[in-house]
Amino acid sequence: MYIARILYPVKVLGPGNRVGIWFDGCSHACKGCSNPELWEFQAQYSTSIDTVIKLINTIRESQVIDGFTITGGDPFEQPEDLRKLLEYARNVSSDVLVYTGYDYLYLQNKYSNILKLITVLIDGVYIEEKNDNSFLKGSSNQNIIILDESYKNKYEQYLADGINEIQNFTAKDGVISVGIHRVGDEEELDAKITKMGLEDKV
């Protein structure tokens, strides 16, 4: 499998302190994508499900994991690896949010077995012209679909009260900026990081 990054605690892509997992590889190539560096499959991100599980278990030893947010790239470009990861993740927390550029109906027809393992799905390609700072969505055409009815009230409350925020993680090779970005955010962040003498890894 190809995993570009695993971060904790991600607080801006779902409720609570979450493990954020970024899959590498995406064929949608959306204009204005916040992670274009993850479009191509890259050998440096090749890993195994066992390695990912060990890393998550290391986090569990000292931290509370309230949920998982899985994005990319596009996780559904690696459906079998996604399924294996979801089967493990649900044993840690049943709150699993997944972003994908594919439409829900397409996924229902092709990957219904995987959808059963997802709590909330955010579907649809990113359209830069429709980036209106909608909460938890890159653009207003995307849909937030609560698949697990037991989480309906929790997420409806979370969505009603939420505002988009950006969370920055310092990594050994720069800064990783996490969250739903508005048009122009990247340029503003680049300017700040350059001023600080750091390197940006969005």
Pick the CATH number of 3-165 from 3.40.50.720, 3.40.190.10, 3.30.470.20, 3.20.20.70: 3.20.20.70
Helices 79-92 and 104-115 pack at an angle, to 10 degrees, of: 60
pTM across the whole model:
0.89
Supply φ then ψ for residue 189, to 5 degrees: -65, -45
Cα separation, 32 vs 194, in Å, equals 21
Ordered by start, the domain boundaries in the chain are 3-165
pLDDT at 17 (0 to 100): 98
User: What are the φ and ψ backbone dihedral angles of 197, each rounded to 5 degrees?
Assistant: 80, 25
Measure the CA–CA gap between 42 and 59, rounded to whole angstroms. 25
Residue-level pLDDT, tens digit, the chain, 202 residues: 999 999 999 999 999 999 999 999 999 999 999 899 999 999 999 999 999 999 999 999 999 999 999 999 999 999 999 999 999 999 999 999 999 999 999 999 999 999 999 999 999 999 999 999 999 999 999 999 999 999 999 999 999 999 999 999 988 778 899 999 887 655 555 555 566 675 554 4
Quote the CA–CA distance of 162 and 164 in Å, as a whole number: 7
The predicted structure's pLDDT at residue 172: 78
**Predicted confidence (pLDDT) per residue in 173-185, tens digit:** 788 999 998 876 5
